[in-house]
A and B are shown apart, each in its own frame.
Chain A
Amino acid sequence: MGNCLKGSAADDISLLRGSESAGDSVSDHLGLPPPYREAVPVYYPSPNISRPVNQLTEEEQVKIAKRMGLIQHLPTGSYDGCKKNRECVICMVEFLVGDNVRYLPCMHIYHVNCIDDWLMRSFTCPSCMEPVDAALLTSYEAS
């Protein structure tokens, strides 16, 4: 089976970070990554377990790849000024109209960047702790 996580670092980063990959490869050439960014992408096969991409077992790689796929199935939108959800409880910053937000099946919303970072560690809603995969399945069955 193809290995979608190992291999060239630039490719891994492009999967996860999009356009930032260019910046990372530049820092790779210089050999001096900025202190706040890991030179090798780090993944979280389970909460509290962080591992550089090149040390993941095959099982963990499959789990992470599936996770990334599931996250992409969660709807996103731009914040419409809805009064019920005023702030992203992860970064504690108030939503601005037009902010990129992601909707979890439990209808809690977060900034896309904030929630994606968390979901890669733990596939639960930070507010109600509902497991996202179970809820996703239920919502598919219902519709």
Chain B
Amino acid sequence: MSLIKEPLPGVVVDGDQAENLSLWIIHMTGAEGTLYEGEHFQLQFKFSPKYPFDSPEVTFIGPNIPVHPHVYSNGHICLSILTEDWSPALSVQTVCLSIVSMLSSCKEKKRPPDNSFYVKTCNKNPKKTKWWYHGKICVTSYLCIIDY
């Protein structure tokens, strides 16, 4: 697995998951020089039997969910490659890289403006949310615009 051979800085796969290959836990550390420097996060990847033709379900889990305009407090992430821009050429490694880079480019730590409504009403599976992506603006099906 290339994630072990060519690790990304601050990204470690939980070694103890041989029993369940369809559920991976990734430990991530905020990159140096960013708002998340030194913070630890856990990402959960759920793979359906149709992977890699279907995107994995990726959410933040654990005690520390990053405070970010595209990350809801329940761990759901608004990132187009996790739904409509998915490609089977993407891997766990490239998805982690996108998430690290999404966190790193953040200028101000804040939750999405529709966070409380979304968290109360959303499906457990973030892939069931109809995410709308318009360049730098992220609009969920609840029609809330994130000023980012």
Contacts and interface: CB of A to CB of B under 8 A. Distances in A.
Nearest to A36: B49
B53 interface: yes
A47 interface: yes
Interface stretch (A2-10, A12-20, A23-31, A124-132): A124-132
B88 A126 contact: yes
A124 B84 contact: no
Interface in A87-111: 89-92
Contacts of A121: 53
Contacts of A129: 87
B138 to A, nearest CB: 18
B91 A126 contact: no
Contacts of A90: 52, 88-89
B86 to A, nearest CB: 8
Nearest to A108: B89
- Residue from B52, B87, B88 with most neighbouring chain A CB atoms (10 Å): B88
B89 A89 contact: yes
Nearest to B55: A48
Contacts of B49: 36
A118 interface: yes
A118 B84 contact: no
A117 interface: yes
A124 B87 contact: yes
B83 interface: yes
Contacts of A114: 88
Given A90-B52, A118-B53, A121-B53, A47 B89 contact: no
Interface in B37-92: 49, 52-53, 83-84, 86-89, 91
Interface string A71-92: 0000000000000000001111
Name the 5 nearest CB pairs between A and B, nearest first.
Answer: A126-B89, A89-B89, A126-B87, A90-B88, A126-B88
Interface of A: 36, 47-48, 89-92, 114, 117-118, 121, 124, 126-127, 129
Interface of B: 49, 52-53, 83-84, 86-89, 91
Given A89-B89, A118-B53, A118-B88, 4 more contacts: A89-B88, A90-B52, A117-B53, A127-B87
